[in-house]
Amino acid sequence: MSSTTAPDHHKITRPNAVAVGTIVWLSSELMFFAGLFAIYFTTRAVQGPSIWIKSTDLLNIPFAALNTTVLVLSSVTCQFGVFAAERFQNKRTGSFFQINKWGMREWFSLTFLMGAFFIGGQIYEYASLVTESLTLSSNAYGSVFYIATGFHGLHVTGGLIAFLIVMIRVAKARRFTHKQATTAIVVSYYWHFVDVVWIALFSAIYLIK
């Protein structure tokens, strides 16, 4: 039997203790981001709309929307990687251009590249805003903007590191095991979480003026 396949009764159908623990941890992370949202809207209410109108006019919404789209689509590619992990297919079984035969490594690699694109876009946006004199210390809006988006960027970077660790371990392993598949699934939970949080942040910061 190939190392990339497993009988149906060995397939992962429900999360184990590690996955459940990860979900509990993500719940605490959700409270952290809820606090950032509270800070954002409280500061906005205290400072008044004038600073927000002036500062949000500096935001490049079309570019941010493109960056957001890439990050959201990375959740789709990540989930395809999970499907491959659940059937214990760690790498492609055909040509690179046969996407329907991709394994977990190919889907996770694409997800990593899309996540890296998002981080690169965020750095580019920061550089553009700094040239417009919107910095962390310029005003209240700048402070909450960089804190909220910056902490999210750190979480995305953590997810990228997790993808690298999973792919390196799989590449070095002789066979793709149940433990490795579970690790891949747990990483996907985290990635979906940071994507959902960003959708909320994007809506609050870029769309609600």
What are the residue boundaries of the structural domains of the chain, listed by start?
27-207
Is residue 9 scored above 90 in pLDDT?
no
What is d(CA 30, CA 151) in angstroms, rounded to the nearest whole number?
Answer: 12
Query: What is residue 10's predicted lDDT score, i.e. its pLDDT?
Result: 46
> DSSP characters for 53-67?
HHHHTT--HHHHHHH
**Higher pLDDT residue, 35 or 4?**
35
Residues with Cβ < 8 Å from 57, sequence gap 6 or more? none
Q: CB of 86 within 8 A of CB of 185?
A: yes
Choose the weakest-confidence range: 71-75, 96-100, 195-199: 96-100
What is d(CA 190, CA 125) in angstroms, rounded to the nearest whole number?
Answer: 24
Residue in 27, 7, 22, 21 with CA at minimum distance from that of residue 197 = 27
What is d(CA 109, CA 157) in angstroms, rounded to the nearest whole number?
Answer: 14
**Higher pLDDT residue, 25 or 51?**
51
pLDDT grade for 47, boundaries at 50, 70 and 90? confident
Would you tell me which CATH number, out of the four given (3.90.25.10, 3.30.559.10, 3.40.190.10, 1.20.120.80), belongs to the domain 27-207?
Answer: 1.20.120.80
Q: CB of 86 within 8 A of CB of 11?
A: yes
**pLDDT tens, position by position, 129-143:** 999 989 988 888 999
Helices (H) and strands (E) in the chain, counts: 6, 0
**Higher pLDDT residue, 96 or 48?**
96
Query: What is residue 3's predicted lDDT score, i.e. its pLDDT?
Result: 42
**The model's pTM:** 0.85
What is d(CA 162, CA 184) in angstroms, rounded to the nearest whole number?
Answer: 9
Q: CB of 108 within 8 A of CB of 152?
A: no
pLDDT grade for 22, boundaries at 50, 70 and 90? confident
What is d(CA 103, CA 200) in angstroms, rounded to the nearest whole number?
Answer: 31
What is d(CA 149, CA 126) in angstroms, rounded to the nearest whole number?
Answer: 10
pLDDT grade for 19, boundaries at 50, 70 and 90? low
Count of beta carbons in the 10 Å neighbourhood of residue 178:
14
Count of beta carbons in the 10 Å neighbourhood of residue 26:
15
Q: Is 49 helix (H, G, I), strand (E, B) or coil?
A: helix
Mean of the per-residue pLDDT values of the chain: 86
Mean pLDDT highest for which of 11-15, 88-92, 172-176?
88-92
Query: What is residue 8's predicted lDDT score, i.e. its pLDDT?
Result: 43
Q: Is 45 helix (H, G, I), strand (E, B) or coil?
A: helix
Mean pLDDT highest for which of 79-88, 110-119, 161-170?
110-119
Is residue 7 scored above 70 in pLDDT?
no
Residues with Cβ < 8 Å from 49, sequence gap 6 or more? none
Query: What is residue 174's predicted lDDT score, i.e. its pLDDT?
Result: 76
Is residue 121 scored above 70 in pLDDT?
yes
